[in-house]
Amino acid sequence: MLRRSDRPKLSSHYVLETAAWLAGVTLMMILTGALWVYHESKIILSEQQEQVRNQLAQGIGIAMVEGLAVKDFGLLESRLIQALSNPSLESAVILDPSGATLARVEINSEGIPGPVFDAQRVDLPEASKNRLAFEEHGKDGQVIAWQPISAGTLLGWLSLQFAYDETELILAELGRKTFFLTLTITLVMLGLFGLILRRTHQVIIQNELQLRRANQSLRDAAEHDPLTRLPNRAALMNMMQTWLDEANRQRLGMAVVFLDLDGFKPLNDAYGHRFGDKVLAWVAQALKQATRQEDFIARYGGDEFVILVNQVSNMDEIEPLLRRGLGRLTQAFEIDGIEASLGGSLGVAVYPMHGRSPNELLIRADQAMYEAKAAGGNQWAVWTR
């Protein structure tokens, strides 16, 4: 048993040293935890933001293929103006493979996107030689995403300038506040440490949910035509392959209907592109009313549409749909006080009789459509060898 003189003496100096040591350890733990959370949050957000930028650039690039292929600079500018409705974008530029500017759209001082008539040549970055998408950092912390636009061959480049993201500033401010609190109330932070981590975790989860929603919105934008809200060409090809795989497994048929509007160009020329856009939106609704819910309708480009009809084996099963479609299209309609009417030429190709791949079926349905148009239009034709 220890005598009284052998027992350790607790002095104020010893207590202060112990408290200081505990406070230092606590401070280091909190700082380490805060830095780790900051670092991991930055990595997660940076990866998610880069993914969002890549998907946005890819979706806009797909929308540019048609206009770039036919050198329709008006179409390119209108697509870029639609793209700059995204608040994270400051400018968008379409370049040819040599770096010559074909179309440029920027946000003006009033916050409205508009074309900039600038035909100067841009020195393409060294990374463009690989013909793959990449990113580079611009001035003032901005990010510039480069997306190749190709249709078999390289047609040009899409350059998107993203505004400076304030996420790092927000995270840095959170780190500074955490550091200040640990310096002033280190002992109190022992009890609050768990709450801070929990709140930080909630912020990260909320950001992830927001980014997932943004990703979903971008995927929808990449797979849908912005004018008619119908699936676009990329979504059509994916759906065709999915349906063909299912049809092959279950030994079922599938029909591809290629529609080209008759009489659309005169309306567009007479009343302008704005009226023409409203007509295309009306056509999309008319096709939805004429088809079944299980049918798939896509805007192929311009005034061309494609309808997929699943589980068919002969023309008798698809003729009612063709009649309804033509009947609906030939009905007179009124837009902005203007009465007008349209027609349509339809070409049909059936799997597996007329082809076994998406491209083969589309090409043959397109050829059949031209036969219907050559015969006077406002009718349908089935591809024949």
Residues 117-163 pLDDT 10s: 766 788 888 888 888 888 888 777 678 888 898 877 888 888 888 87
Q: Is the sign of the CA dihedral 72, 73, 75, 79 positive or negative?
A: positive
Q: Which residue has the higher pLDDT, 17 or 184?
A: 184
For residues 307 and 324, give the distance between their C-alpha atoms in angstroms, rounded to a whole number: 13
Asked if residues 382 and 312 have their Cβ atoms less than 8 Å apart, the reply is no
What average pLDDT does this structure show over 63-69? 80
Residues 318-362 pLDDT 10s: 899 999 999 999 999 999 999 999 999 999 999 988 999 999 999
* Cα separations in angstroms, 40 against 32, 164, 199, 352: 12, 20, 15, 52
Pairing outcome for strands 343-351 and 333-335: unpaired
The DSSP-derived string for 137-182 is E-GGG-EEEEEEEEESEEEEEEEEEEPPPTHHHHHHHHHHHHHHHH
**Which DSSP helix (H) or strand (E) runs through 204?**
helix 186-223
Which residue(s) pair with 351 in the sheet? 254
Pairing outcome for strands 343-351 and 254-262: antiparallel
Q: DSSP secondary-structure letter at 8?
A: P
Residues 228-281 pLDDT 10s: 999 999 999 999 999 999 988 888 889 999 999 999 999 999 999 999 999 999
Q: The tokens of 231 are what?
A: 């699936």
Q: Which domains does the chain have, with CATH numbers?
A: 233-382 (3.30.70.270)
Asked if residues 279 and 267 have their Cβ atoms less than 8 Å apart, the reply is yes
pTM: 0.47
In the numeric block, the tokens 């005598």 are attached to 3
* Cα separations in angstroms, 278 against 268, 275, 289, 333, 335: 10, 5, 17, 11, 7
Asked if residues 159 and 138 have their Cβ atoms less than 8 Å apart, the reply is no
CA within 13 Å, CB half, 226? 20
Percent of the chain with pLDDT over 70: 77
**Which DSSP helix (H) or strand (E) runs through 309?**
strand 304-310
Summarize the chain as % helix, strand, coil (round to 5): 55, 20, 25
| pLDDT in the model for residue 235 | 92
Asked if residues 233 and 258 have their Cβ atoms less than 8 Å apart, the reply is no
